[in-house]
Each structure stands twice: as structure tokens, then as C-alpha cells.
Amino acid sequence: MLNPRLDDLPGYPFARLRDLLGSVASAANIAPLVMSIGEPQHAPPAFVAEILAKSADGWGKYPLLRGTPDFRRAVEGWLTRRFSLPQGFITADENILPVAGTREAIYMFATIAISRKEDGPRPLVLVPNPLYHVYAGAAQMAGADPVFVPAARETGFLPDYLALPDEIWARTALVYLCAPANPQGVLASKDYLTALLAKVVAHDAILAVDECYSEIYDVEKPVGALEACAGLDGQRGGADASHALDHLVVFNSLSKRSSSPGLRSGFIAGGRRLIAAFAKLRDFASSATPLPIIAAATELWRDEVHVEASRARYRAKFDFAEAALSPQFGPVRPAGGFFLWLDVKKAGLGDGEAAARRLWQRAAIRTLPGAYLCPEDKTAPGADFLRVALVHDEPLLAEALPRFAAALAD
């Protein structure tokens, strides 16, 4: 009666964590600290509450799925400034749509990106491994097969999609990429993005880049996929930029950039035909973002002051992490995002599950075994790792990280 593909969905990482730690008592007399979930804890700027209050009459109106022209213009301006795009490369009216957080958009996008020939083999969707579980779930529920491509140390912690054989590429409809990468914290270079985009264009597939960590970085400002796309113009033998844009969408969100996961507000931007098709699907399937939220989101995309302040705080947390953990783990600072991706096996601590159990037992700290961000099999490329979210306020982290290190030290 139910769609059998539901049974193929990967295990939800936090359900697996509950199973792992359910029978393990946490250290007595220590308040538990949840470092397993990447929920930003910095306060959103005060103007968010003010705009929500001022726009309260909007709660009584049906919002439009395309949001307001002002919202789309704010995003157009942000993307153009942030990624140095040529004026008019993307426009508010043709290339941008608001979404209710990126999770649902990332999921739903697969529905328009995948078409299946009745008699042919199932289309393929390339996903990184480890991954944000939604990529694989989206592929499966849209009738495709996910291809899990390792993003481990040997490939610079990014998936080496270009190395896949032609038979795989010939069946590939959609490629998901997370950059900066959750959980590994690496950035994709412009060359990586350019080459991937050219490959996707050559195979008439679509590249969907999840950039929701783009504004949290240490030193180097992450390059965006739209930026790589715009750079294709004038390259010898390269695909022309406007043609390549027809094969590209990016997702971004206020959840991490503006520490506002509760707003449920993000956007999708990309090629005109893709955005029009997505808007058509959303007319049937989506809930539009309420007007007060659209008003607050518009101002958040126009303001960089709070983003810079938040980034500075994350850098201070990377400093704490480095001081507490690098004696045992070597370099731990992520280039982007707010997760530590600790190779616990290399540090002689067994696998990620063993380290997570030990931290809970000895220090009441909850972390996520890397294997839980991979499909369930023993050779998971994340198995030797532990993901640790550096989201809490500085005093809490300054106190917790030495406890973290001590729990793993002996």
C-alpha cells in the first residue's frame, strides 16, 4: 500500500545516535551538552523581532510562493555582491525563489530534475558520502538511484565525481554537492566547481549545490557555484556561462548565515528554466513563506554586519577547539562551516561510535559518529570520524572542550 521506496531511505542519523547512546549512562553531575546537532545558537539580530512585530498584519494574508519583489531583489543584490557576478547574470524575476528553509527545497528539487524513460534503467543521482541525508532521500523518492561517492581524505574530502566512469555519467540526471562541506568543513575550489559544471553540462544533467555554510568560514572566502559558472564566459573550450546556468541551481539559507533556523527561510537560485519549473511544482506542493518572515528575511540578506560578527565568534570557537584538541588530533580548524571532523581512529580511539560512547559516558557530551552520515555499511567513509558541532556560546565551549579532550586522553 505504501511506496516501497520508503524502506530504502537511509537511517536518520539522530535516530541511530539515540539507539547508540540509549543504554549508556552519561557522566553523573555534569549537565549534558549536545554537540551532535548543528543548530546555531547565536542570537539573530534584534531587528528580526522588530520587523516581525511591525509586519504583523501579514499573518492575516496568504503569502505568494514567489515571495515579494523586494525579497527577490535583496537576494539578487546579495548574490551579485557576494559572488562578484556580472550585473544581470541572475535577476530577481527569473532566477530566484524563496523557500521554507533549504531542506524541503533540496528534497523537492529532485522531483523536477529527474525524468525516467519507461523502459530504461533508473536514472542516477550523484551524492557525496558522507552526506546530508536529504540528498539520498530525495533521489530515492523521486525514482532514481543514489550513487554514493566517497568524500574522504584521499579525495581531499570532496567527492571525485569526475573520476566516475562514463556509464555512470551517461545515466546521471542530477548531482548534489555540499560546499562548504558538512561534515568535513572543506571548501570547493573554483577549478573544482568549473570542471564539475562543465561535466554536468556535457552530460545534460543538473548540478544542485547546497551552499548553506557559505558564510561561515575561517580565512578563505568560499567560492560559489554561480561565481564559477559566470567565470565560464570567454574560457577556451569552456561551456558558455548562460548555457551552463541552465544546468545549475544553488541553495542558501538564513539558518546558518543569520543564526535563524527557526525562521525557516532560504532561497533557490539558478537557471531560468529550472526556476520556472520549480515554481510550477511549488504551486502544487509547497507552503509559501509568511509575509512577516519574508520581510525579516529581506533585511537579513541586506545586512552583513551581523554575519561578520557571527563569523568572528565562530573563529574564536575554532581557536578554543585548536587549543584543546590539536595536541591529540593535529590540525582541527575547519575551513568552512562549524563542525569539527575528527579522525578518532588515527588518534587511536577506535571508531566514531566508540568515541561518541566514551564522550557521553565520561563527559556528558553528545557527538555524532561519522558513520551515521553515511549509508549503513561497515565500510562507510565516515566510520573513523566524529562530527562535533561548535555552535554553543564561547564560555560554554571554553569549559567543555578541555573536558572533551580529557575524556578522550587516556
Ligand X SMILES: Cc1ncc(COP(=O)(O)O)c(C=O)c1O
Q: In the complex, which residues of this chain contact ligand X (CB under 6 A)? A: 38, 101-103, 132, 178, 182, 210, 212, 253, 255, 261, 266
Smallest distance from ligand X to CB 384, Å: 21
Cα separation of the two ends of the chain: 53
Give me the least distance between CB of 172 and ligand X, in Å please. Answer: 21
User: Is residue 379 exposed (0-12), middle (13-18) or buried (19+ Cβ within 10 Å)?
Assistant: exposed
The minimum distance between CB 130 and ligand X, in angstroms, equals: 10
Could you tell me where the DSSP H helices lie in 29-68? 47-54
Q: Between 247 and 256, whose beta carbon lies closer to ligand X?
A: 256
Query: Shortest distance, CB of residue 102 to ligand X, whole angstroms?
Result: 4
Is 210 or 384 the residue whose CB approaches ligand X more closely?
210
The position carrying cell 532514481 is: 144
Exposure of 394 in the CB half-sphere (CA atoms within 13 A)? 11
Q: Which is nearer to ligand X, 210 or 358 (CB)?
A: 210
Cβ 378 to ligand X shortest distance, Å: 24
From CA 312, how far away is CA 140, in angstroms rounded? Answer: 39
Q: How far is the CB of 66 from ligand X (least distance, A)?
A: 18
> Which is nearer to ligand X, 241 or 297 (by Cβ)?
297
Q: 95 CB contacts (<8 Å, ≥6 apart)?
A: 76, 245, 269, 270, 271, 272, 275
Contact between 253 and 44 under an 8 Å Cβ cutoff? The reply is no
| Measured distance CA(118)–CA(140) in Å, rounded | 17
Q: How far is the CB of 406 from ligand X (least distance, A)?
A: 29
> To which residue does cell 565525481 refer?
161
The grid coordinates of residue 258 equal 543569520
| Dist CA 206 CA 184 (whole Å) | 24
Nearer to ligand X, 178 or 225 (CB): 178
Instruction: Specify the residue, 38 or 146, whose C-beta has the smaller distance to ligand X.
Output: 38
For 348, residues 6+ apart whose C-beta sits below 8 A from its C-beta are none
CB of 234 to ligand X, least distance (A): 32
CA dist 302 and 296 (Å) reads 10
Of residues 132 and 318, the one with the C-beta less far from ligand X: 132
Q: Do residues 132 and 177 make contact, with C-beta atoms less than 8 angstroms apart? A: no
* Nearer of residues 156 and 262 to ligand X, judged by Cβ: 262
Query: Where on the phi/psi map is residue 395: left (φ > 0), alpha (ψ -120 to 50), or beta?
Result: alpha
| Amino acid at residue number 193 | L
